[in-house]
Every structure is written in structure tokens, then in C-alpha cells.
Amino acid sequence: MKNEVLEYMTADMETDDFYNAESIQAALKECTAVKKVICVKECDSTNNLAKRCAENGDKDGTLYVAQCQTGGRGRRGRQWISPKDGGIWMTLLLRPDINPASASMLTIVAAMAAASAIKNILKEESVNAECNIKWPNDVVINKKKICGILTEMRAEYEKIQYVIIGIGINVNMTEFPEEIKEIASSIRMQTGKRVSGSRIISAFAEEFTHYYQEFLKSMDLSNIKAEYNEILINTGKMVKICSSEEEYTGTAAGINSRGELLVVKEDGTNIKVSAGEVSVRGLYGYV
């Protein structure tokens, strides 16, 4: 394979002021889960780039960041708009020694890390805004989605070859297409602040290292779930669960140690909802 990473790394990356690889790499000293950062000017999707690099032997802990994605992908086949300087479009490559069935929990680990990183920065900036998670992995500010996560993996014979966790954070965007503008927003639109990309990426790497270590201690979310449930926007609220087979409502009661959403249905039955092809909405809107 041609080395597309080097091909994309052009001189103007160095002077880019939203983020640059050197300042992020310098901040990664303590981050055992994120060891190396590769910034590219443009790619189709950082998830696709990470997959190609993983197939080519890239190591656990490599983080790919693109200034712009021409084919950014969201969950359920949706498009993810990723213009230059609009936000952070990045994917972390991991090669964890865990059961493939546990990989979906890493999405929750990443959501927790993204939410904590953003919460800490807003606190440092004395911004008074509510930053929460909408189950399973959307980060919301003032109930508007500012971050989404798409996790993919390759596993063979019950062994994970690699997991890639793609994270999109809308930082500076000021407008969204009609069809998503009721749901989507950016840190800038919700807080009036322009936060540096390097700062968010470094804070994410630090928080991810912490929560990933907690995950690896128990191989589940036992050590994280209390903190997650505290910032989960759905807790105690009515939610509508939609899958291809059925649709029902109930009250969300937080996640369990495997990241399933516990819901008490209107008839009193308790159910566990697994992330995947279900969508969870508030009764009257997105949350």
C-alpha cells in the first residue's frame, strides 16, 4: 500500500492553528492508551484510514486526525459532515485482548472520555453549560448533539484484530443542514467559545487513558457506570425505543456494567436495551 499518511501530511499542517500534530504529541506523554498521533490534511473518513493502516500493521494506540473528511460516516449509514476547521474528526486504533462481544463497551468508554474532556474544558473556561451523554454515546451540550462516536472492529476466531473508535466533535461549526439542525450543534454555538483543537484532543487522550484503564481492570463498565449514569441525560426520563421489529416507551434507569440501558416499561417490566440497531429518543424529541 502507498503510504497515504505521508502523502497527506503537508507543510501547512505544521502551521495550522486549530491543532497540530506536534503539540498534541507533546501532550501525550502520560497517555498510555494514545501513544502516537497522525494528522492528515484530508481523507475520506478517519475510520477508513485507520482500518487501512490497521490492515497494514499500525500499532495499538495510534490516533488518526483529519482536518477534513470527504466521506465522514455516522451511525446507521448516515453522513457525518466534517469540514476543515469545523471540528475534530479522529479515530483511535486499539488492539485490545478482549472478547469481541465486549468491544461495544469501548464506545461508552470513549463517550465518557469525550464528555469529561469537554466538561473539564468548559469548567476551565468558566462556561456555564450542561454537558451530558445521551445513551449510548452522543455527547450533548444544552441537549444538542455536539459529538458522535462510531466504533467498528475486525475479529477472527473470537479474537479481536483491531477496534477503531471514530469520534466526531463539532467544535467551530456555525450552521447545520435543515434536516439535522434541531438536533446538531457545536461547542461554539452552545457556549460562544472557540476552543483549540489541540486542547480538546489532548484532554480526550488523557481522559480516555483513565477510563480505558478502569475498563481493563474489570473488563466491563463496573468502575465507570456510576459516573456515566450521573451525566446520562436519559436517566429518569421517558424514552422511546425503536428497532426494526418494534417500538415501545419506558423510563430509563441508567446503564448496567455491560453498557445496556435499563428501561422500566409502562407495564412495569424491566428490560435491558443493547446498543446497535436500536434508536433511543426522548418522548417528544431527541432527548
Question: Applying CB under 6 A, does 168 fall inside the site for ligand BTN?
Answer: yes
Q: Is the peptide bond preceding residue 136 cis, with omega within 30 degrees of 0?
A: yes
Closest by CA position to 268, among listed 247, 287, 284, 253: 253
- Out of 51, 75, 119, 144, name the contact with ligand BTN by CB under 6 A: 75
For residues 90 and 233, which CB has a smaller minimum distance to ligand BTN in the complex? 90
Question: Applying CB under 6 A, does 210 fall inside the site for ligand BTN?
Answer: no
C-alpha cell at position 214: 478502569
- Out of 51, 67, 73, 224, name the contact with ligand BTN by CB under 6 A: 73
With beta carbons less than 8 A apart as the criterion, state whether 88 and 172 touch. Answer: no
Question: Applying CB under 6 A, does 166 fall inside the site for ligand BTN?
Answer: yes
For residues 77 and 268, which CB has a smaller minimum distance to ligand BTN in the complex? 77
At residue 219, the 3 state secondary structure works out as coil
CB of 164 to ligand BTN, least distance (A): 9
Please enumerate in sequence order all residues whose Cβ is within 8 A of that of 136, keeping only pairs 6 or more positions apart, or say none.
107, 108, 111, 255, 259, 261, 275
Question: Applying CB under 6 A, does 80 fall inside the site for ligand BTN?
Answer: yes
With beta carbons less than 8 A apart as the criterion, state whether 130 and 141 touch. Answer: yes
Residue nearest to ligand BTN (CB): 148
Question: Applying CB under 6 A, does 149 fall inside the site for ligand BTN?
Answer: yes
Question: Which range touches ligand BTN (CB under 6 A), out of 5-13, 18-26, 40-48, 122-130?
Answer: 40-48
Question: Applying CB under 6 A, does 150 fall inside the site for ligand BTN?
Answer: yes
Question: Applying CB under 6 A, does 45 fall inside the site for ligand BTN?
Answer: yes
Residue with cell 479515530: 91
Please enumerate in sequence order all residues whose Cβ is within 8 A of that of 76, keeping only pairs 6 or more positions apart, or say none.
277, 279
At residue 218, the 3 state secondary structure works out as helix
Question: Applying CB under 6 A, does 78 fall inside the site for ligand BTN?
Answer: yes
Question: Applying CB under 6 A, does 51 fall inside the site for ligand BTN?
Answer: no
Whole-number Å distance between alpha carbons of 72 and 80: 5
The residues of the shown chain that bind ligand BTN, judged by CB under 6 A, are 45-47, 69, 72-75, 78, 80, 82, 89-91, 138, 148-150, 166-168
